Amino acid sequence: MTNFTADDAFDDAMTAFLGIIQQRKIGKLVLMGSSSGGQLAAMVSQEYQLNCSPSLRDFKVHGVLLRGPVTCDATEDGVHIPSRFKAFHTSMSPAFHTSLLSSPAVNEGNRVARKMPLEGHLSGLPRHWIQVSTNDIYYSDGMLYAEALAEAGVQVELDVVSGWPHTFWLKAPYLERAVQAEQDMIYGLRCLFEKEFSIGS
């Protein structure tokens, strides 16, 4: 059995993204991801901004939509969190553990070799819409990424779902609050495609 790494997942995501933009001639494009998929979407947006050839960068990414994203490795006493954010990353504590998620998906043994989103270069990125849940060990990941983006001059809108756990809309999609979270996500997607944000700059 072949073992695939987190870097393999990123390479696959980047290859797929480049294949799409090389085929598209018109239209708008938004990168989207939830949880670890949010990590991939954020990393692809950074890689595209920094390292792709100028001919490829002629295709504009209109936005990035992240839901409960993983943006850093907060294990190992937070040694990988940028120092200015370390004191504010509090959601890996047991107070945020739920039956849906009580341990981090990313750790020293399986993180990507390249920089995680919160460690990356954020200036010049397209605007972002980020949804976070307050009862989630990745709550701080999303909140701090939104703060870092705003610091870098990226337009960002944050949607905070109070009192609910990580990606709860997938586990209980018919709950009224889950339906609302999905509707809010559609609103965020429409904002990225066609509207101005109400907050952030």
**What pLDDT, in 10s, does the model give residues 77-113?**
778 899 999 999 999 999 999 988 888 888 777 778 8
Q: Which residue, chain included where needed, has tokens 């001919």?
A: 55
Q: Quick check: is 121 in a domain?
A: yes
Rounded Cα gap, residues 122 and 167, in angstroms: 25
- pLDDT value of residue 53: 67
**Residue 186 reports pLDDT greater than 80:** yes
Q: Quick check: is 199 in a domain?
A: no
Q: Quick check: is 70 in a domain?
A: yes
Q: Quick check: is 89 in a domain?
A: yes
**Residue 119 reports pLDDT greater than 80:** yes
Q: Quick check: is 152 in a domain?
A: yes
Q: Give the range of the structural domain holding residue 50, as residue numbers without chain letter.
A: 6-17+29-194
**Residue 199 reports pLDDT greater than 60:** no
Give the pLDDT band (50/70/90) at residue 201.
Answer: very low
The CA-based angle 148-151-154, given to 5 degrees, is: 85
**What pLDDT, in 10s, does the model give residues 43-84?**
999 999 888 766 666 688 899 999 999 999 988 777 889 999
Q: Quick check: is 114 in a domain?
A: yes
Q: Quick check: is 1 in a domain?
A: no
- pLDDT value of residue 59: 80
- pLDDT value of residue 5: 85
Contact at 8 Å (CB) between 131 and 159? yes
Q: If you average pLDDT over residues 164-191, what whole number do you get?
A: 96
What percent of the chain clears pLDDT 90, i.e. is strictly above it?
Answer: 66
Q: Quick check: is 126 in a domain?
A: yes
Q: Which residues of 18-50 are buried (b: 16+ CB within 10 A; e: fewer)?
A: beebeeeeeeebbbbbbbbbbbbbbbbbbbbbe
Contact at 8 Å (CB) between 126 and 45? yes
Position 47: which residue type? E
Q: Which residue, chain included where needed, has tokens 């990125």?
A: 125
**Residue 198 reports pLDDT greater than 60:** no
**Residue 200 reports pLDDT greater than 50:** no
- pLDDT value of residue 112: 83
Domain count, the chain: 1
Q: What is the mean pLDDT of the chain?
A: 90
HEC profile of the chain: CCCCCHHHHHHHHHHHHHHHHHHCCCCCCEEEEECHHHHHHHHHHHHHHHHCCHHHHCCCCCEEEEECCCCCCCCHHHCCCCHHHHCCCCCCCHHHCCCCCCCCCCCCCCCCCCCCHHHCCCCCCCCEEEEEECCCCCHHHHHHHHHHHHHCCCCEEEEEECCCCCCHHHHCCCCHHHHHHHHHHHHHHHHHHHCCCCCCC
* CATH number of the domain where residue 11 is located: 3.40.50.1820
| Least confident piece of the model among 97-106, 136-145, 174-183 | 97-106
